[in-house]
Amino acid sequence: MTPNVRTYQDYRQFLKDFAEYKRRQNSHWSYGTWAHSLGLKATTSISMIINGQRHPGEQILHSLVEYFGFSPNEESHFRNLVALAKSNETHLKNILKKEVHTSSLKQPRPPISRHLFSQIFEWHFMALRQLARMGRLTTNSQITKRQLLHRLSEKTIQMATEKLIHLRLLELDSEQKLVAPASPLSTQQDIPDENIRAFHQQMISLAAQSVQRVSVKEREIVGLTIPISRAKLRQAKELIRKFASEFDALMDDTQGDAVYQLNVQFFPLAEGVINDHDKEPSNEKNH
């Protein structure tokens, strides 16, 4: 399936995924073919853009928009992604991130199958994919072991990497670097599943360990205990999911230097109302 630009937060990743898609469709397709279609005199312009050595100027940007035949909303999203990558001004970047987030929300990420998730539910699979998205994952398990902050054997890392490649959740690019070609993964919501439970339990356990192991300057843990009406549970879940989605849109950065985990737990601690049949039997006797 052709990559959809509105599911992306990084214009370069979109261009990379499109190039990989074209190569799978036609083994003879190349950056040279693409450059010719864009009306460029040399292949180096498009290859330098994709490799992060430069950003597209207005002329190339216009050619890309014409080449893809974007709708007005798609063009706006793509141009915002490019402007966001170019900008060094904090206020403007925040405005652009909100614009990108707004246009991205209209293209929800399809959840992966339960069968696929059952093969990658352990925490390190997600960490490896995110390292790959930043261009920081190599095939050297010894290096990766030092990158991960929680202990794993080199064999486990190697096996996990090989599985992700086999499942096409990681790929080796033309320079033999590991990349994550697909859009970010998501699972179905409010569906009981043992593997999803196991994943959350692992991440919650790692969060508990971080209380002791990670400096307060490097983490944020907030707790809030409140009374609530069960009639508002759906609204509460929607607020949490909206926050997580906005956090993802604003914070996700493939040019970053660390992989973080955001957990949000919301669960009951006490019952406010006890039914009569739940009351403990009285010790008093009727006379």
Residue 174 near residue 234 (C-beta atoms within 8 A): no
Q: Give pairs for 197-206: CB < 8 Å, separation 24+.
A: 198/121, 198/122, 199/117, 199/121, 199/122, 199/123, 200/263, 202/122, 202/123, 203/123, 203/261, 203/263, 204/263, 204/265, 206/123, 206/150, 206/261
Residue type at 271 in one-letter notation: E
pLDDT at residue 189 is higher than 50: yes
Q: What is the pLDDT of residue 65?
A: 95
Indicate the angle between helix axes 123-133 and 194-213, nearest 10 degrees. 70
Average pLDDT over residues 196-205: 96
- The most confident of the ranges 46-55, 108-117, 237-246 is 46-55
Q: What is the mean pLDDT of residues 100-105?
A: 72
Look up the pTM and report it: 0.61
Instruction: Work out the mean pLDDT of the chain and round it to a whole number.
Output: 88
What mean pLDDT is predicted for residues 248-257?
84
Q: Which structure tokens are listed for 165?
A: 């490649």
**pLDDT band (50, 70, 90) for residue 286:** very low
Which of these, 167, 144, 170, lies nearest to 259 by C-alpha position?
144
CA atoms within 13 A on the CB side of 187: 19
Mean pLDDT throughout 188-210?
90
For residue 204, what are its two tokens?
A: 């919650």
What pLDDT score does 149 carry?
A: 93
Confidence band (pLDDT; 50, 70, 90) for 3?
A: confident
Confidence band of 264 (pLDDT split at 50, 70, 90):
very high
Determine the Cα–Cα distance for residues 116 and 121; give it in Å rounded to an integer.
9
**What are the tens digits of pLDDT across the range 228-251?**
999 999 999 989 988 888 788 778
pLDDT at residue 103 tops 70: yes
Cβ–Cβ under 8 Å, residues 169 and 129: yes
Distance between CA atoms of 49 and 78, rounded to whole angstroms? 14
Per-residue pLDDT tens digits for 54-84: 999 999 999 999 999 998 888 999 999 999 9
pLDDT bucket at 280, cuts 50 / 70 / 90: low
Cα–Cα distance between 122 and 172 in angstroms, integer? Answer: 22
**pLDDT tens for residues 125-184?**
999 999 999 989 999 999 999 999 999 999 999 999 999 999 989 998 877 789 887 566
pLDDT of residue 114: 87
Residue spans of the domains in the chain: they are 5-105, 109-278
Q: What is the pLDDT of residue 145?
A: 96
What is the structure's pLDDT at 238? 87
Contact 193, 237 (CB under 8 A): no
